[in-house]
Amino acid sequence: MVIVVGNPANTNCLTASKSAPSIPKENFSCLTRLDHNRAKAQIALKLGVTSEDVKNVIIWGNHSSTQYPDVNHAKVKLQGKEVGVYEALKNDSWLKGDFITTVQQRGAAVIKARKLSSAMSAAKAICDHIRDIWFGTPEGEFVSMGIISDGNSYGVPDDLLYSFPVTIKNKTWKIVEGLPINDFSREKMDLTAKELSEEKETAFEFLSSA
């Protein structure tokens, strides 16, 4: 397994995969778990629960400010019952506005406040990412991971390293299929795919001239 964390993580991961064709491309992944954890934390804070009570948030796309944190399919445990996040929060404007931008820009905000990066949070996210690859995801839960987009059912172009919701079993990831995508999500998912296509083009131009 090869896990890429250094930015631009998605495109660096794709480049690494192309440069090591003897390693199956499914063995390459990049870290979007930090964004995933931040999205869970924002929801938990807003509802006064712990991050462990929130599951199935999704980070779609690039580990950049175009990433799309999606809670349309997320659940939260409230008073012992699982409820959809939209239903629990009853605050669509926050979920479609400030929540998204907060998660997208969290890394920059931490650096601005601390004058240092969020290294410990990243380390925790790497541990989470590796633990789930090793032990698998719990039944009924999925996590976010930057992986090769080949053959996905969400209209994301092939040959990109894109963050999807995945389940993991026997050290093998599988994209969660069949999640309904509304127009709002579609637009955000396409925007981050476009950025990844442009990054890929720039990186490969550079590599071919090197």
Domains of the chain: 2-202 (3.90.110.10)
Q: Is the dihedral of CA 51, 52, 58, 63 positive or negative?
A: positive
Report the C-alpha gap between 50 and 179 in whole angstroms.
25
Confidence (pTM): 0.94
The catalytic residue among 36, 63, 73, 129 is 63
Q: What pLDDT sits at residue 109? A: 65
Return all residues near 70 (Cβ < 8 A) that are at least 6 apart. Answer: 57, 58, 59, 60, 185, 188
Side-chain-facing half-sphere of 173: CA atoms under 13 Å: 28
The two counts, helices (H) then strands (E), for the chain are 8, 10
Residue 63 appears among annotated catalytic residues: yes
Q: What pLDDT sits at residue 107? A: 66
Whether residue 87 is predicted with pLDDT greater than 80 in this model: the reply is: yes
Average pLDDT rounded to a whole number, residues 27-31:
98
